[in-house]
């Protein structure tokens, strides 16, 4: 019996239509976004699966909102079979990570996207979709958490990031590498890993029926000579958390330190990350003095998501520290 797989379309490059064969950059100017059902021809070649297309919203991933995340997570929670989500690559890693923190159960959830529209020369849309379907249908994906499949490689949502604007192999996991790969025949090679840890605090409160959006958490990017202007503005705008995308190995610019400490003293979650793609921010004395916490090896954009979810759950700074240390 064929494995049933739901295909949730959210738009993005995958669903956009190129105006000519080499329209790899400005295809969005054409304004055509195709429904997911129109893009499935050939996606199951060599695979024993039955697809159930589900249209969500026609979103460019640069326009996805926190409310969209909540609604998408609620939709995924209603799907009782393996699920593939097509998504624009610009924020795919963030959507995948958000879903990984609120997804419960062992049903496979796999995100994929494309660097080139499906009707353009050399498009990766169909190969990526087929690979994602193969993973979602594979027993090895059950209980593995939310996964990202791009260019035949399988990544954990926690670890993956997009590092190139246009390359077909734009996604990497710089610290821990991929979990596996999909071969040309659709077979899946997967490195066995421990199941993702469930946070001690219930982060699914963020997608409760009453939830509309998430608390505001902003990212302050450090650079030579940076001061506290942006941080003060974020606080004034109602931020409940600030992530410092600091200088490596994990410090803000000297001019930002006052504003970050003031934000922490005012009760905001203030987390120290780095603007680099690799490395670990460890607890340090200056963080303790300022009332800040270390962000570990998570990227600033993923630290922001964790902070928003912990705030939604009514958690404390100590809870946030624990979640960062266990996921």
Query: Which helix or strand (DSSP H or E) is residue 272 part of?
Result: strand 269-274
Cα distances (Å, whole numbers) of residue 9 to 15, 43, 95, 129 = 8, 14, 13, 11
Query: So what's the pLDDT on residue 33?
Result: 84
- Mean pLDDT over 171-200 rounds to 90
Q: Is the pLDDT reported for residue 198 higher than 90?
A: no
Query: So what's the pLDDT on residue 195?
Result: 73
Query: So what's the pLDDT on residue 203?
Result: 95
Q: Is the pLDDT reported for residue 318 higher than 90?
A: yes
- Mean pLDDT over 269-290 rounds to 96
- Mean pLDDT over 282-300 rounds to 97
- Mean pLDDT over 86-114 rounds to 96
Q: How far is it, in rounded angstroms, from Cα 274 to Cα 143?
A: 31
* Percent residues over pLDDT 90 in the chain: 87
Q: Is 45 helix (H, G, I), strand (E, B) or coil?
A: coil
Are the C-beta atoms of residues 128 and 170 closer than 8 Å to each other?
no
**Averaged pLDDT score across all residues of the chain:** 95
Extract the tokens encoding 85.
Answer: 């989500």
Burial class (CB in 10 A: 0-12, 13-18, 19+), 141: buried
- Mean pLDDT over 155-160 rounds to 97
More confident residue, 282 or 29: 282
Provide the annotated active-site residues: 13
Tens of pLDDT, residues 14-72: 889 999 999 999 998 888 888 898 889 999 999 999 999 998 988 888 999 999 999 99
Burial class (CB in 10 A: 0-12, 13-18, 19+), 168: middle
Please report the domains of the chain, with CATH numbers, ordered by start residue: 3-190 (3.40.50.1170), 213-326 (3.40.50.40)
Q: Is the pLDDT reported for residue 162 higher than 90?
A: yes
Cα distances (Å, whole numbers) of residue 159 to 58, 169, 208, 235 = 26, 15, 26, 29
Query: So what's the pLDDT on residue 31?
Result: 80
* Percent residues over pLDDT 70 in the chain: 100
Per residue in 113-126, is it b (16+ CB within 10 Å) or e — as a string? Answer: bbbbbbbbeebbbb
Query: So what's the pLDDT on residue 94?
Result: 98
- Mean pLDDT over 174-189 rounds to 96
Confidence at 4, pLDDT banded by 50, 70, 90: very high
DSSP string covering 137-185, please?
HSGGGTTS-EEEEETTEEEETTT-EE--SS-TT-EE-TTT--SEEE-TT
Confidence at 111, pLDDT banded by 50, 70, 90: very high
Confidence at 191, pLDDT banded by 50, 70, 90: confident
- Mean pLDDT over 179-183 rounds to 97
């Amino acid at each position: 019996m064929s494995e049933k797989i739901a295909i949730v379309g959210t738009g993005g490059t995958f669903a956009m239509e190129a105006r000519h064969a080499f329209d790899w950059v400005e295809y969005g100017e054409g304004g055509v976004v195709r429904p997911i059902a129109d893009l499935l021809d050939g996606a199951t070649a060599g695979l024993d699966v039955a697809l159930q297309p589900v249209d969500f919203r026609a979103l460019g991933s640069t326009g996805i909102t926190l409310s969209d995340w909540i609604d998408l997570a609620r939709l995924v929670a209603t799907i009782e079979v393996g699920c593939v989500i097509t998504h624009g690559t610009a924020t795919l890693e963030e959507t995948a990570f958000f879903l990984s923190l609120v997804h419960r159960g062992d049903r496979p959830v796999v995100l994929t996207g494309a660097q080139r529209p499906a009707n353009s020369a050399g498009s990766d849309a169909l190969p990526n979709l087929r690979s994602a379907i193969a993973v979602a249908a594979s027993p090895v994906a059950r209980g593995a958490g939310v996964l990202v499949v791009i260019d035949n490689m399988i990544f954990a949502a926690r670890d993956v990031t997009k590092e190139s604007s246009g390359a077909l192999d734009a996604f990497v996991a710089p610290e821990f590498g991929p979990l596996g790969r999909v071969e040309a025949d659709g077979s899946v090679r997967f490195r066995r890993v421990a199941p993702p840890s469930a946070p001690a605090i219930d982060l699914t409160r963020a997608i409760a029926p009453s939830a509309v959006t998430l608390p505001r958490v902003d990212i302050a990017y450090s650079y030579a000579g940076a001061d506290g202007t942006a941080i003060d503005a974020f606080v004034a705008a109602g931020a409940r958390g600030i992530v410092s995308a600091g200088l490596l190995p994990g410090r803000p610019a000297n001019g930002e330190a006052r504003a970050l400490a003031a934000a922490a003293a005012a009760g905001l979650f203030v987390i120290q990350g780095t603007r680099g793609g690799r490395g670990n921010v460890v607890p340090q004395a200056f963080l303790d003095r300022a009332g800040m916490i270390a962000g570990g090896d998570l990227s600033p954009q993923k630290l922001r998501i964790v902070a928003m979810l912990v705030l939604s759950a009514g958690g404390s700074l100590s809870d946030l520290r624990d979640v960062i240390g266990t996921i």
